[in-house]
Chain A
Amino acid sequence: MTEAEIYSALTEVFQDVFDDDGITLTPKTTAADVPGWDSQAHVNLVVAAEVRFGVRFRTAELESLHDVGDFVQLIARKKEGR
């Protein structure tokens, strides 16, 4: 899976979780940029991404996410490691 494909799929995940087709993601996107991205929505995002990409994030990995760029890198690493 290329990085572009991950961005595209992750964008769909965000659009579904926030029910907003207008969301676009950049590496620098953070919770402050997306209305409704609170701690509960964050868990929903993580779980929806796990389902979408068929991966499982470790507790420690989830603590090191700061922006969408980190999230995409993490997914890419997970997909490679499989």
Chain B
Amino acid sequence: MDQLAWLPLHADLSAAIGEARRLTEPRARLAAAIRLSGYRRDFTLTGRIDRLAAEGLADPAAPGQQSPALTPLRLAILASHTVDHLVPSIRVSGLGRRLALSVHVAPYGLYRQALLGEDPDLAAFAPQLILLALDARDAPIDLPLEAAEAEVVAAVTARVEELRLLWRRARERYGAQVVQQTLVPADPPIFGSFEALVPAAPYAVTERLNTAIRAAAREDGVLLLDLAWMAARQGQAAGLADPVRWHQAKQLVSPILAPLYGDLLARVVMAVAGLSRKCLVLDLDNTIWGGVIGDDGLDGIKLGQGNATGEAFLAFQRYAAALGRRGVILAVCSKNTQEVAEEAFARHPEMVLKRGDIACFMANWNDKAGNLRQIARTLNIGLDSLVFVDDNPAEREIVRRELPEVAVPELPEDVANYPETVAAGGYFEAATFTADDAARNRSYVLNAERKAALDQATDLEGYLRSLAMTMTVKEVGAGELPRVTQLINKTNQFNLTTRRYTEVETERFSTDPETVMLSLRLRDRFGDNGLISVVIARPDAALAANELLIDTWLMSCRVLGRQVEQATLDVLARAAARKGATALIGEYRPTARNGMVAEHYARLGFAPLPAPAGAEPGATFWRYELGAAQTLTHFIEVEAA
């Protein structure tokens, strides 16, 4: 499989880069680089795109002014092998995944010194993410081949304990999210298939190390760049490690596969930044079943056991359903008559995907770009959260042209390769997985039912009362930190300040006695919406002692229009009063995505305030007195957890 096979081919990418290079404005060249990063490219072209972007990226204001806006992040790479040749690919894939990455490479091989000793360059860089890029040749566990399993286990445990010390240092020193690269087996087998049965054989040791690294990473909140797994799956990663390049330049990863490596890493960073896509939109005819339901009818479409094509479509449906179970929202966008299309879901016995799995079902004869806009609106998510899968190259091209924010994977000819291609695109990379994620698609489906109830209700109050909503409020404790941190980092629209925090930082808030940090969950008669809102109010040096700054207030757009904001303010005001505060200070920091909450504080009855000294330009400030009895209308019952 070609690396970056999910990206479309450009007719002449080299010429397009040459043309873009003649643009005089660095920002225009950056914009061109973002666009061109979305085409299939080898390492040389990728290097040229990187140069195209360089000057624009060096301007701190430029990333925010791009459309879509890029999120700036600082990534340090501490490696036991040469990585300099991978950096352009990391940055360019970053552009394609809406990141403006600054990359710092610590001196080759000195990763221990960088973390255990003093590294002024690294300290000055202040990394937000640290990748420990190690390889199997580094610090090998050198035991006699006949060593007993217990000796191997002890050696592996010692090595992983050393790594955990490095992880801890990276978190404590820099507050950085650590990403650990797993070890690609370096040596060819000496026993053949018997290899793994000899505990001290190099391959068996590396396997054991990787297993131990993964388990430790899970416990320590460290993310993986699971290169070993990617290399073992071969396919697109075939030839990842080339011994010639190792001996020539200590490159673990061949330059040929630099674009793939760069993308594997960029998508982990994307997940940390909360920029992973959220919704898989499926075409129907010849995408999830063979044939055209309108022409071939329920009995005529190819789906299910009995023939190879039907089984391949079934396998793709299974893959989509599995994505749904891990929290990807599923939607349908198809040129069909709605009733005919829905009938296939309701009545075809082999369908794996059920109508109840689809949160938004758009089957009509309108153009697909318009329908995709409608899907994003209905689900209250951005167009840049959508991945659209369609077998028809013409439809893919139109959608790419009309809606560049939507990811549209290039599909192979054979449906048997669809699941692999969608997976290879890495659109839905995760940085956490919680029970709320597993329930997410279901909750969007329930939301569609709520909307239907709203359409039937004659008045808003009656509708809100009929929902029988209960909000559960909790002071955030250790157990909730991963979910709360995840929500903080992925909420873009209903987010007053868009401050991103690592788990280390949220933990500090949760243990600070002066800070109020609340998590809110909402359930109603249709079901549980899960964690829907986080607020953090803390003292601030620029404010009076009895005032709390609302550092963070964010909410899932799933529960918009249900007066959750009013109920939240009620709860927050009471919690702040208990800390001895007499006023709450609200802050709104505008971004490209959060225009919907510009008037949030005004709507809740806050009074405008002049911005304090040192405030960010464009930010607005608001004051809410806690003493006066306030009445906020809402129909939500509030309970403390």
Tell whether, in the assembled complex, residue B251 and residue A43 are in contact, meaning their CB atoms are under 8 Å apart. Answer: yes
Q: Report whether B47 and A62 are in contact in the complex, using a CB–CB cutoff of 8 Å.
A: no
CB distance from A9 to the nearest CB of B (A): 13
* Consensus secondary structure, chain B interface: helix
Contacts of A44 in B (CB 8 A): 43-44, 47, 85, 255
Across the interface, do B254 and A47 meet the contact criterion of CB distance under 8 Å? Answer: yes
Contact A43 B51 (CB under 8 A): no
When each residue 26-67 of chain A gets 1 if its CB lies under 8 Å from chain B and 0 otherwise, what string results?
000000000000011001101110010000111100100000
Q: How far is the CA of A42 from the CA of B48 in the complex (A)?
A: 16
B42 neighbours in A (Cβ, 8 Å): 51
Interface SS of A by simple majority: helix
Q: Is A5 an interface residue (CB 8 A)?
A: no
B244 near A40: Cβ-Cβ < 8 Å: no
Q: Which residues of A contact B255 (CB under 8 A)?
A: 43-44, 47
A38 to B45, CA, bound (A): 19
Taking a contact as CB atoms under 8 Å apart, the answer to whether A40 and B47 are in contact is: no
Docked-complex contact A47 and B43, CB < 8 angstroms: yes
CB atoms of B248 and A19 under 8 A apart: no
Give the number of A-B contacts (CB < 8 Å): 46
CB distance from A13 to the nearest CB of B (A): 8
CB distance from A60 to the nearest CB of B (A): 10
Q: Which of A21, A47, A48, A51 has most chain B Cβ within 10 Å?
A: A47
Are A19's CB and B85's CB within 8 A? Answer: no
**Residue total for B at the interface (Cβ-Cβ under 8 A):** 22
Docked Cα-Cα span, A43 to B255, in Å, equals 8
Chain B positions 235 through 279: 1 when the CB is less than 8 Å from some CB of chain A, otherwise 0: 000000000110111010011100000000000000000000000
Instruction: Let me know if A39 and B249 touch, CB within 8 A.
Output: yes
CB < 8 Å neighbour of B18 from A13, A21, A57: A21
B243 — nearest CB in chain A belongs to which residue?
A: A59
- Bound CA–CA A34/B185 (angstroms): 37
Known contacts A43-B255, A44-B255, A47-B256; A19 and B48 CB within 8 A of each other: yes
Q: Which residues of A contact B247 (CB under 8 A)?
A: 59
Chain A, residue nearest B247 (CB): A59
Known A-B contacts A44-B44, A47-B255, A51-B256; A19 and B245 likewise in contact (beta carbons under 8 Å): no
B248 touches A59 (CB 8 A): yes
Contacts of B21 in A (CB 8 A): 19
**Which residues B539-598 have CB closer than 8 A to chain A?**
none
Chain A residues whose C-beta falls within 8 Å of the C-beta of B245 in the assembled complex: 43, 47
In the complex, the answer to whether A19 meets B249 with C-beta atoms within 8 Å is no
Q: List 28 A-B contacts (CB under 8 A).
A: A13-B44, A16-B14, A16-B44, A16-B48, A17-B47, A19-B21, A19-B48, A19-B51, A21-B18, A40-B85, A43-B248, A43-B249, A44-B43, A44-B44, A44-B85, A46-B248, A47-B43, A47-B254, A47-B255, A47-B256, A51-B42, A51-B256, A56-B244, A57-B244, A58-B244, A59-B244, A59-B247, A59-B248
A→B interface (CB under 8 Å)? 13, 16-17, 19, 21, 39-40, 43-44, 46-48, 51, 56-59, 62
